[in-house]
Amino acid sequence: MSLTNNKYVLGWIEEMKALVKPDQVIWIDGSNQQLEQLRAEACSTGEMEKLNEEKLPGCYLHRTAPTDVARVEGRTFICTRKKEDAGPTNNWMDPKEAYETLGKLYDGAMKGRTMYIIPYTMAHSGSPFAKVGIELTDSIYVVLNMCIMTRVGPKAMEQLGDSPDFVKGLHAKKDLSEKDKYICQFPEDNTIWSINSGYGGNVLLGKKCFALRIASFQAKNEGWMAEHMLILGIENPQGETKYITAAFPSACGKTNLAMLIPPEIYAKAGYKVWCVGDDIAWLRIGPDGRLWAVNPEYGFFGVAPGTNAKSNPNALASCSRGTIFTNVVHNLDDNTVWWEGLDKNPPRNAINWKGEKWDYTDGSKGAHPNSRFTAPAKNCPCISPEFDNPQGVPISAIIFGGRRAKTAPLVYESRDWAHGVFVGSAMASETTAAASGAVGVVRRDPMAMLPFCGYNMGDYFAHWLEMGEKLGDKAPRIYNVNWFRTDEEGHFLWPGFGDNMRVLMWILGRCEGKFDAVESPIGNLPKVDDIDLTGLDMTKEDLANLLTVDKKLWAEDAAGIREFYAKLGDRLPKKLMEELEILENNVK
């Protein structure tokens, strides 16, 4: 049964069927009846295991192959006709070569298997933001995850109508060969081809592949933005809500901020924090000339280790039902799951993420460090009442952040939009023990988009600058935060977590004209009295220390920015070079 008469869709599906040669083809309508059948089938083959229905209703466990546990940047390619359009920060492959190389791998890849056709929308159907994708896959795991992460079913085909404007995704597990693993994006063709992986980020093609790599290219051409950003709302006691988007590299507390729990001082006063999205924001200029954002996703694909009742109770509640857990510990005593950092009681009778009997006393990790939960966003206790608003929410401020031990102050404000784009382009984090390699190495990750921008990063910066020109005086203000400043012994100076709201309140106060700021060589800093420290074990001197700007460290950082900019050559907008020169002069 086909869900469409669209000749472009049907023609493409026939072409792909002829290539991969599946035994049978099933359209996914997203109905619970169909999904229940697929869950039962996945459990019968051992692809998934059903968990304790009383403790974790509707939850399942899945394990990927031990060699297939994360996004593989080295096997991810942007396939544009001209190499310079992919830019120096992406792996490039000529589209002709990519189609030929992968075509041979796909030939007959689904023999003896079923091809599932998943029609889905990113953002809400009927929304000005909506985009349609179709993913063809031979993995039930992919089908079930996509039905949590995106809006799947006939409405997607209604949204498309008879248009050819849809993103064509083809995924085959094949034999999970390492050397033949490819995740190829063809931005000029609205196409994604993924083969020889079964891991989420490489195979849930609506996620990073479409919502960022393909969408960022669409956004540049169509005059909007696809960004690696959370969206949160802060509601004041009078019931007014202001919205913020924020971009952070991994391991910088993005999900915790997206689902922030207000500290007592604000909760008692009647403030509430709402999560609109934890990972991706699509932004466009609304009819009122302001910037509006929508979360194009329908679920959370969160990292499990470290998620617990203290660090992120809302994330923990989100994965308490209707969730797929990947590569975590299976607690055999009560058929539930566990991971490092969940609590201090590792199960005694357990299977680790590789499917082996696990004894926590031997010092080995039970869950993979990148183990995941795929949970419906609607489960989140603080999900925004505007989550399903097809128009999105208006954005007051944009925040960039990273993990810097000494350089960046707790918070500073850019002088204007162009300076804000410079601040985002220079975003960096210092490596922690969690990342492989040396600790404390500065890694540039502009706008947290380095692995996800579907075209030349210099052109991407130029697009940001153009958006600012279009927004004019209605542009959101841009800020940089750093929750990770440390003392000489390496202890964090700022409490972080819910207390980050104190900084957000200063940011929103600035947007509303409530606070003055102090000019510094890098941008505008808060006055010490304007960040509320009530209830914190912290003095004004401590805060003043967190807001210092060390010119010597910033001169070193400016040299690092210049080195990064050099990679982009003549595609780097001149305006950003001017901003860099201003910084260099300011910190001499």
Contact predicate 68/354, CB 8 Å = no
Strands 324-326 and 60-62 come out as parallel
d(CA 2, CA 111): 21
Q: How far apart are the first and last CA of the chain?
A: 69
The residue ranges of DSSP E strands in 402-458, in sequence order, are 411-413, 428-430, 442-444
For residues 146 and 139, the answer to whether their CB atoms sit within 8 Å is no
252 is catalytic: yes
Residues 132 and 98: beta-carbon distance below 8 Å: no
Contacting residues for 18 by C-beta, under 8 A, at least 6 apart: none
Q: Are 131 and 192 contacting, i.e. CB atoms less than 8 angstroms apart?
A: no
Q: Residues 444, 560: contact at Cβ < 8 Å?
A: yes
* Helical packing angle, 574-586 and 417-425, nearest 10°: 80
**Which residues 6+ apart lie within 8 Å of 454 measured at CB?**
78, 90, 185, 187, 212, 213, 214, 215, 216, 217
Residues 84/86/91/92 CA torsion (nearest 10 deg) = -70
Contacts of 10 (CB under 8 A, 6+ apart): 2, 4
**Number of other residues whose CB lies within 10 A of the CB of residue 541:** 9
Of the candidates 252, 319, 380, 453, the residue annotated as catalytic is 252
Q: Which residues contact 43 (CB under 8 A, 6 or more apart)?
A: 49, 50, 60
Backbone angles phi, psi at 255, to 5 degrees: -65, -40
| Catalytic (active-site) positions | 252
